[in-house]
Structure 1
Amino acid sequence: MKKVISILVIALTFPLTSNAQDDMKKDAMMMDDEAKVVSLEQTKGKFTQEKMTLKEGSYIFEINNNNVGHNVGFVLAPKSDPDAHIKTAYVTNPVANNSKEKTKVTILEKGEYIYFCPLNPTPKYTLVVE
């Protein structure tokens, strides 16, 4: 009898877990569809876009390494606390020379942010979200 109950519990739990995982995947895909892609280019020692203004919302940052000669990255942080890096805005892989990589979806609220690359290294640039 215990064996039958255990099997029923497992059988009833599996579809619930499976549906929850499917829902999470759908939510992530919807966020990707709603997110705007912001392309940024790095050359030796700098970003070519030195200031940006965006509206509140969801963004994916695409970082282009234009012949820097080594891997680059991307850091985004509130201007008021440059050490509070927004982890979703890290590129998913280091950006190899003459290639592109993207970040995860990053939700930006009104305020001022900075962006930079410690690997290149670049100055700290301003991103304003209205």
Structure 2
Amino acid sequence: MRKLVAVAFLVFGTLVSGNAQDKMAKIVSLEQVPGEFITKQLTLNEGTYIFEITNNAVGHNVGFVLAKKGSDLSNPENHIQTAYVTEQVADGQKQQSSPTTLAKGEYVYFCPLNPTATDNTLTVK
């Protein structure tokens, strides 16, 4: 019985902490137009963020990739997978990523579907 209670507490505690993280995450809104993001540079504090990507008349679906600056961007293993939008963003729509915790450093973001430049910079201080 004690093991069952401990397991239930562990599972419930994990669910509560995940939901708390979602509520504490700040939304970062980024808009894409044909061939580019409107915002090319961002500065954020360390913390947890949800990226909300808007497709403003690109004419086809778009996505979002975030990676550490200087990494091989062509290798998906270097992408911060929680920052991917949960599904491709249709024209005129918006989608969000999962909560993504960022540490100090420099990151780049881009959309391989649009395609956009790979030098959009996100600095976390």
Task: Give TM-score, length-normalised by structure 1.
Answer: 0.86
Aligned pair partner of 2:60 in 48, 67, 70: 70
- How far is the alpha carbon of 1:70 from its aligned partner? 1.0
Identity, in percent, stands at 49
Q: Could you list the runs of 5+ residues in structure 2 that have no partner in the other structure?
A: none
Residue 73 (structure 2) pairs with residue 101 (structure 1): no
Q: Cα deviations across residues 60-83 of structure 1 (Å, max 9, x unaligned)?
A: 100011111111000000002143
Give the structure 1 partner of residue 123 of structure 2. 128
Q: Is the 8 A contact 1:35 1:60 kept in 2?
A: yes
Q: Cα deviations across residues 33-84 of structure 1 (Å, max 9, x unaligned)?
A: 1111000000111100011111111111000111111110000000021431
Residue 108 (structure 2) pairs with residue 114 (structure 1): yes
Aligned pair partner of 1:30 in 20, 32, 41: 20
Q: Which has the higher contact order (CA 8 A, sep 6+)?
A: 2
Structure in which a larger fraction of residues adopt helix: 1
What count of residue pairs does the alignment treat as equivalent? 120
Q: Which amino acid aligns with 1:29?
A: N
- Superposition CA RMSD, Å: 1.4
Residue 85 (structure 2) pairs with residue 91 (structure 1): yes
- How far is the alpha carbon of 1:19 from its aligned partner? 2.8
Q: Could you list the runs of 5+ residues in structure 1 that have no partner in the other structure?
A: 1-10
SS of 1:18's partner is helix
In structure 1, distance between residues paired with 2:46 and 2:87? 26
If you compute each CA radius of gyration, which structure gives the higher value, 1 or 2? Answer: 1
